Amino acid sequence: MSDHCSPTFSRLATEMGFSCRTEGGLVAFRNPFGLENWTLPVLEVLIILGAVLTLVHAIRRLRREGDPTNLVLWLGATAYLFIIEPPLYFPAAFGIDGYVDTMFAHNVFTVDFLWGRLPLYIVAIYPFMATIAYEIVRMLGVFRRYGVLLGAICVGFVHHAFYEIFDHLGPQLKWWEWSTGNSLNQPMFDSVPLSSVVVFAALWPMSLAFFVQLFVGRHVDAGRKLSAPQLIWRTIAIGILGSAGTGVLPIPATVLGANNITVRGWLYAAELVVLSAIAIPILVRQWLRLRRGEVPAYSDNVVRVYSVVYLVVLAVLWIAALPDFLHSSHGWARNAGPVGNIWYTIACFVIGILCAAAVSGTSRSRDAASAGTSREVAAAAG
């Protein structure tokens, strides 16, 4: 695939220690102990295992409870990946190289696809992270009380918090490298393009969640059963419309800030502020309702447990990276790549921990309610 090695991708690949022109094929396997550093296989296991667990859980929920929402979400997120990512990897093959240059390059991992462009863990992270955020919001009862749009906004906010913990660490540990010379990546928020912070971390999951809930989730909540053909076309529509929404939602920044990076940055930030200002009060109110004894209508133990696992592992990786971070110079870590914003990351950790704590209480509420119901039934029978 050397004919599709753009100068930018070749440069990024060389800086990360591999060659675009000789790298792999459609699928490539490597020794996990021979990667850039020990954090790469740890990250792979964390994300891929999370994706597998959420997929298995989604299938079991469909088979046992007749609820296809999780599976549609998982497949819709994966569809988004295959719609959005290939043109970014091979702009020349899609005829857009005159408009879009390489924006980033992933490092090579244990399993890669598409000539070193697409690590398996990236395929997994889309449905995994989307499921974590969507299910937290669903367990808190936001969709049932506030509807499709406000629930989707909350999903975008929660996804943003969980994802940015990872997003601000990746460049330092050389999980990937951004092309900072690409104008589409400007402005940068330390080591991360503000477009990634806002569009991918918040607006994409918001768009996906909106269409999942609109086409499937609200019907399931209302007790309606969808047939297999209905689920198939709805899943396809979710993948397509979710991708389209990712282009529509940031239009204020991408259009009004097309020729002015400063304006673009302020508009990106404004969108994130508006989203956060809407989501935070809703999530807090729902948490307080659950603490006052409101019984949640929905529970997901896989997400409840694995969201904590994710936060713990990312905390360990951040702690491991901290010495080099603290000795950074001019935005570059010692013996590593560009550093992210640690204060923003801490804020995201706090939000993630609060979200995980909030849904951990939903299990106790349901258990207490179930126990109370059992006692009432036993008393009536006696």
Q: Which residues of 217-240 are buried (b: 16+ CB within 10 A; e: fewer)?
A: bbbbbeeeebeeeebeebbeebbe
Can you tell me the distance from the alpha carbon of 279 to that of 275, in angstroms, rounded to the nearest whole number? Answer: 6
Residue 1 lies in a domain: no
Residue 21 lies in a domain: no
Q: Residue 238's closest CA among 152, 298, 159, 154?
A: 152
Q: What is the enclosing helix (H) or strand (E) of 178?
A: strand 176-178
Residue 166 lies in a domain: yes
Q: What is the enclosing helix (H) or strand (E) of 193?
A: strand 192-193
Residue 273 lies in a domain: yes
Exposure on the CB side of residue 365, measured as CA atoms within 13 A: 22
Residue 156 lies in a domain: yes
- What residues make up the domain containing 309? 39-103+120-381
Domain count for the chain, please give it.
1
The span from the first CA to the last CA of the chain, in angstroms, equals 75
Q: What is the pLDDT along the chain (382 residues), one digit of tens a residue?
A: 555 678 888 888 888 888 877 776 889 999 999 998 999 999 999 999 999 999 999 999 999 999 999 999 999 999 999 888 888 888 877 888 777 888 999 999 999 998 888 999 999 999 999 999 999 999 999 999 999 999 999 999 999 999 999 999 999 999 999 998 888 999 999 999 999 999 999 999 999 999 999 999 999 999 999 999 999 999 999 999 999 999 999 999 999 999 999 999 999 999 999 999 999 999 999 999 988 877 677 889 999 999 999 999 999 999 999 999 999 998 999 877 899 999 999 999 999 999 999 998 765 545 444 434 333 323 333 4
Residue 22 lies in a domain: no
Residue 16 lies in a domain: no
Residue 177's alpha-carbon distances to 90, 188, 193, in angstroms, are 16, 13, 11
> What are the φ/ψ torsions at residue 332 (nearest 5 degrees)?
-120, 130
Residue 31 lies in a domain: no
341: left (phi over 0), alpha (psi -120 to 50) or beta: beta
